[in-house]
Structure 1
Amino acid sequence: MNQKDTFVHLFAGGMILQKEGPRSLFRGLGPNLVGVAPSRAIYFAAYSNCKEMLNNIFEPESTKVHMTSAGVAGFTAITATNPIWLIKTRLQLDARNRGEKRMSAFECVRRVYQTDGIKGFYRGMSASYAGISETVIHFVIYESIKRRLLEYKSASAMDEEDETVKEASDFVGMMMAAATSKTCATSIAYPHEVVRTRLREEGTKYRSFFQTLSLLVREEGYNALYRGLTTHLIRQIPNTAIMMSTYEVVVYLLNG
Structure 2
Amino acid sequence: MHIIRRVYLTQGIKGFYKGITASYFGISETVVHFVIYEAIKAKLMSVRAHQPMDGDKKTRDFVEFMMAGAVSKTCASCIAYPHEVARTRLREEGTKYRTFFQTLATVAQEEGTRGLYRGLSTQLIRQIPNTAIMMATYEAVVYVLTSYYQNRDNTFYDADDAD
TM-score range, shorter chain: 0.7 to 0.9
CA distance in 2, matches of 1:111, 1:217: 31
Which residue in the other structure is 2:20 paired with? 125
Give CA-to-partner distance per residue, 1:16-66, whole Å, 9 cap, x none: xxxxxxxxxxxxxxxxxxxxxxxxxxxxxxxxxxxxxxxxxxxxxxxxxxx
CA shift for structure 1 position 107? 4.2
Q: d(CA) in 2 for partners of 1:193 and 1:208?
A: 13
Counting matched residue pairs gives 147
Q: TM-score, normalised by structure 2?
A: 0.80
Give 4+ residue runs of structure 1 displaced > 4 Å after superposition. none
Superposition pairs of residues 233-252 of structure 1, within 5 angstroms: 233-252=124-143
Counterpart of 1:188 in structure 2 is: 79
Distance 2:119 2:112 in 1: 15
Aligned pair 1:141/2:2, yes or no?
no
5+ long unaligned stretches in structure 2: 149-163
Aligned twin of 2:7: 112
Cα distance in 2, alignment partners of residues 150 and 108 from structure 1: 52
Equivalence map 1:78-97=2 (5 Å): none
Q: Which residue of 1 aligns with 2:144?
A: 253
Distance 1:242 1:112, change over 3 A: farther
TM-score by length of 1: 0.53
Bigger RCO of structures 1 and 2 (CA < 8 A, at least 6 apart): 2
Identity over aligned residues, as a percent?
66
CA RMSD, aligned part only?
1.8
Over alpha carbons, which structure has the higher Rg? 2
Deviations 1:147-196 (A, max 9, x none): 122232332125xxx23x21221111000000001111111221111111
Aligned-pair CA distance for 1:201: 1.2
Structure 1 runs not aligned, ≥5 long: 1-105
Displacement, 1:253? 2.1
How has the CA–CA distance of structure 1 residues 113 and 157 changed in structure 2, closer, same or farther, with 3 Å as cutoff?
farther
Q: Deviations over 1:52-105 (max 9, x none)?
A: xxxxxxxxxxxxxxxxxxxxxxxxxxxxxxxxxxxxxxxxxxxxxxxxxxxxxx
| Equivalent position amino acid for 1:126 in 2 | T
Aligned CA distance change for structure 1 residues 114 and 248 (closer, same or farther; 3 Å): farther
Q: Cα offset for 1:237? A: 0.8
